[in-house]
Amino acid sequence: MRNLDTILRRLVPSVAALSHCRWLMAPLDWIDRLLSSPFREARRLPPNRFRIRVGVGNRVLFNQFHHLLLPINFWFHVFSRGYASFDSQILDIGCGCGRFAMPLRDYDLYDSRFTGRYTGLDLDREMIDWCRRHFDQRFDFVCLNHYSRVYNPTGERGAPVIFPVEDDSQDFVFAISLLTHLLPSDLEQYLRETWRVLKPGAVMTMSVFCIDFLDERLRQRWSFPYRQGAAYLQSQRYPEAAVAYEKRYLLDVCSSIGYGGVQLRPGPGQALLVAKKPVSARAAFLAGPAEPTQSEIDSDFWSEEQRATPLRSPAAPAALDTD
């Protein structure tokens, strides 16, 4: 089975690009709609081709649970660590078809709801349009017109991406399986923009393929044989199909931008980059370059309430297994 997966990956360097193929996807969408029709929850999900596009571990059908479980696990991780709360301003970069917005939209238990504001950014016009039709006014979806050979081949080249989001406005910024599709100049610009829009003291977290942490399962799928600057690529023809980086590079980029407490947590699946915008220049200085010691974390880097839930913590997050 694994060999079959490896062969398929070689034949199909980008599942996302393939998911735009109408004649291939239309029958799958149709079968999926038919199978989902008795179940109200399944009918509310995005079309099957979108779920395939954002990554469902090669399950071309019956991927509903996979699609929903990942974001639910993610929010457990985020809320339990205090990175965000139900009234936070949250930015999701590379939001796809709104998979991570869905639990926020649907959570409604004993008067407890998400009352903050969520903004999703993506290059994919079709998925952004779908999200705009299926989420309420707490959610905002914005389409960026930036070039990507895989995700937006007709987009604008050259100009650095500026997020349509105000400085110092977000309590939490995240990107799941986005850095895995960014070449170095974009990756650095997106991390700079994230820093700009985060409130001082707020946390960002982004999943990434890290060469230092590729476990056996990932190695079965990806070997990243090509180099382009700091990036390790799976395909030269579709460079953004899957991109990996070294741990040192990721930590150095974050530190040079000014992030503090930068950590790279190994998977399962993709690694998780976690960093914080320091509350002040002094705090940034005290936090040091990357991966602060526990005493530095306890002394000055964290604000009072966040000392209770420091970044440095042993538990690994849920497996990030998107494409």
Residues that bind ligand SAM (CB under 6 A): 54-55, 94-96, 99, 121-124, 144, 146, 148, 151, 176-178, 181-182, 186, 322-323
Rounded least distance, CB 94 to ligand SAM, Å: 3
Which tokens hold the place of 185? 């100049």
Closest to 179 (Cα-Cα) out of 225, 240, 268: 240
What type of residue is 174?
Answer: F
Rounded least distance, CB 127 to ligand SAM, Å: 6
Q: Kindly give the pairing relationship between strand 170-175 and strand 243-245.
A: unpaired
Assess contact for 214 and 222: CB atoms under 8 A.
Answer: yes
- Per-residue exposure over 203-226, b if at least 16 CB sit within 10 Å of its own CB, e if not: bbbbbbbbbebbeeebeebbbbee
Which tokens hold the place of 63? 């991927």
What number of CA atoms fall less than 13 Å from residue 30's CA on the CB side?
Answer: 6
Between 123 and 233, CB nearer to ligand SAM: 123
Between 177 and 306, CB nearer to ligand SAM: 177
Between 231 and 283, CB nearer to ligand SAM: 231
Assess contact for 193 and 183: CB atoms under 8 A.
Answer: no
* Cα dihedral 144, 148, 150, 153 in deg (nearest 10): 80
What number of CA atoms fall less than 13 Å from residue 322's CA on the CB side?
Answer: 32
Between 120 and 278, CB nearer to ligand SAM: 120
Rounded least distance, CB 150 to ligand SAM, Å: 7
Between 290 and 318, CB nearer to ligand SAM: 318
DSSP bridge pairs for 203: 172, 276
Between 102 and 297, CB nearer to ligand SAM: 102
Distance CA 296, CA 262 (A): 12
Between 118 and 302, CB nearer to ligand SAM: 118
Rounded least distance, CB 260 to ligand SAM, Å: 25
DSSP symbol at 233: E
Rounded least distance, CB 280 to ligand SAM, Å: 30
Cβ contacts of residue 154 below 8 Å, gap of 6+? 147
Rounded least distance, CB 122 to ligand SAM, Å: 5
Rounded least distance, CB 291 to ligand SAM, Å: 25
Between 183 and 211, CB nearer to ligand SAM: 183
DSSP symbol at 277: -
Between 90 and 176, CB nearer to ligand SAM: 176
Which tokens hold the place of 316? 């690994």
Rounded least distance, CB 308 to ligand SAM, Å: 29
Q: Please identify which residue in the block is written with the tokens 């914005």.
A: 142
Distance CA 82, CA 80 (A): 6
Rounded least distance, CB 261 to ligand SAM, Å: 23
